[in-house]
A = this chain, B = another copy of it.
């Protein structure tokens, strides 16, 4: 056999935003070209969605927090986030979605929602409703919420312990899958004029879930939507988080500032996926990144430097405090945090990794001032700054070294940074065969476009949701048959 040209893997390109004046760029609300501080106007969202849809981004992904970062200069100090609008104020990511869907054709929407503070019955209902209204273009970014303030907003004295949150989340997903896949038979809704049946009796059933954390009778109130189960995203970095994610996620966000660290994550996930019986390549792995691109390297760098002049230091350190639980205000100005006793290992490792990326970077101390500057734009993620060719080279190197499937792209200013990517970077990626010319399924579902190797809008057979599926022709779903076959002992009623 002669050697055939190997077709390169096409990347996932995802826009990463938040319903807040600033996401990972505290203070940038003041930049004259930034529009993200108009997040409370619908037009900001519909304009952004149109730009991304025309640019053929896979999706718009909206992060969320159910509280405020109050560790820095704390404890319990709200004030430092206020001037820079550091992820605060922040509003509900759900309500704007349908308005964006109405003005776009193929763009998907990833919505962050927590399993910790809402009963699965209502969240499953909201996602099913949106899956209908968007024509199957929704994904759920599952979080369990790590903010102490969020717990207290919802009436708890403190957070549910971390591993318990994941155990609860796991059952939360089971309840949701039962509602989405197992409460309405695939052929339940017929809208048949002759038999006068909108839905056929006998083809809708209660789920009667009784678990350790949740009970729900059902039936699901929403008829089967295009995807049934929304496309599932997750970002799990802890052990419990990784196990949960490799079981449920169809796409995962990976942390890490340098390829070596990201690669370790990729390998850990592919191994775990294999262990739980899922096709390791069926889980799309996406790395967070900030991309500032322009005609030339110099112009891009000048842009970045200009953005940086708008950054709000207190806001940046407040975000840092929230992410790592450390109030950096009490530390000395000359302290090198890589070696500071009592400083979280995760942060030390991150700073080590970052240092390693810069030639000679290990000799430069990670002081408060340096952390402030490096995290100001894009947070603790990779930064790619330069011309299309420079950025494409860097991204290609990352993909080659790590095996990831694409990028989750944050902004310093929005939609400007996304427009630059569409103008400069995507044509370059297309020339290299690394980005699609059009959506895999124009007008299709999130699942069809993110996992372009899949057939149709339903979950794969190796995904845990599929075992709850109620297929046409079955009296009751297979999973329920199994539940029924468990003999009930001593049942004298």
Q: Which residues of A contact B (CB under 8 A)?
A: 19, 21, 27, 29-30, 37, 40-42, 46, 65-68, 76, 78-80, 82-85, 88-92, 94-99, 101-103, 117-119, 121-122, 125-126, 128-130, 132-134, 149, 152-156, 189, 191, 193, 195-206, 214-219, 221-223, 225, 312
The reply to whether B91 and A29 form a contact with Cβ atoms under 8 Å apart is: no
Across chains A and B, which 8 residue pairs bring their CB atoms closest together, nearest first? A152-B217, A79-B201, A85-B198, A40-B132, A155-B215, A82-B199, A91-B129, A89-B223
* Distance from A323 Cβ to chain B, minimum over Cβ atoms (Å): 17
Q: A125-B91, A221-B68 are in contact. Are A96 and B312 (CB under 8 A)?
A: no
Secondary structure type dominating chain A contacts: loop
**Complex contact B153–A218 (CB within 8 A):** yes
A155 surroundings in chain B (CB, below 8 A): 119, 121, 214-216
- Bound: A205/B191 CA distance, A: 52
Contacts of A27 in B (CB 8 A): 196
Say which residue of B97, B122, B149 sits within 8 Å of A117 (CB atoms). Answer: B122
Contact A133–B99 (Cβ < 8 Å): yes
Residues of B within 8 A of A195 (CB): 83
Partner of A95, one of B130, B191, B203: B130
Asked if B198 and A128 sit within 8 Å, CB to CB, the answer is no
Q: What residues of B have a CB within 8 angstroms of the CB of A117 in the complex?
A: 119, 121-122
5 contacts between A and B (CB under 8 A): A42-B101, A66-B121, A66-B221, A95-B97, A122-B154
**Residue contact A95 to B94, C-beta cutoff 8 Å:** yes
- Chain B residue nearest to A312 (CB atoms) is B196
The reply to whether B19 and A219 contact each other, CB–CB distance below 8 Å, is no
**How far does the alpha carbon of A130 sit from the alpha carbon of B203 in the complex, in Å?**
36
Report chain B residues within 8 Å CB of A99.
Answer: 98-99, 101-102, 133
Q: How far is the CA of A195 from the CA of B217 in the complex (A)?
A: 55
Residues of B within 8 A of A191 (CB): 29, 37
Say whether B153 contacts A78, CB under 8 Å: no
A125 touches B83 (CB 8 A): no
Quick check: A91 and B153 within 8 Å, CB to CB? no
Given that A119-B155, A214-B155, A215-B155 are contacting pairs, would A94 and B91 also be in contact in the complex, using a CB cutoff of 8 Å?
Answer: no
Q: Is the CB of B222 within 8 A of A91?
A: yes
Complexed CA–CA distance, A133 and B43 (Å): 9
- Chain B contacts for A94, CB-based, 8 A: 94-95, 126, 129
A98 to B206 Cα, complex, angstroms = 31
In the complex, how many angstroms separate the beta carbon of A124 from the nearest chain B beta carbon?
10
Q: Which residues on the B side are within 8 Å of A21 (C-beta)?
A: 198
Task: Give complex CA distance A119, B119 in Å.
Answer: 10
Given contacts A19-B129, A89-B221, 17 further A-B pairs with CB under 8 A are A21-B198, A40-B133, A40-B223, A42-B98, A42-B133, A66-B122, A78-B204, A79-B201, A79-B202, A82-B198, A83-B200, A84-B198, A89-B199, A89-B222, A92-B125, A92-B128, A98-B98
The residue in chain B whose Cβ has the minimal distance to the Cβ of A153 is B121
**Distance of A396 Cα from B19 Cα, bound (Å):** 47
Min distance, Cβ A349 to any Cβ of chain B, angstroms: 31
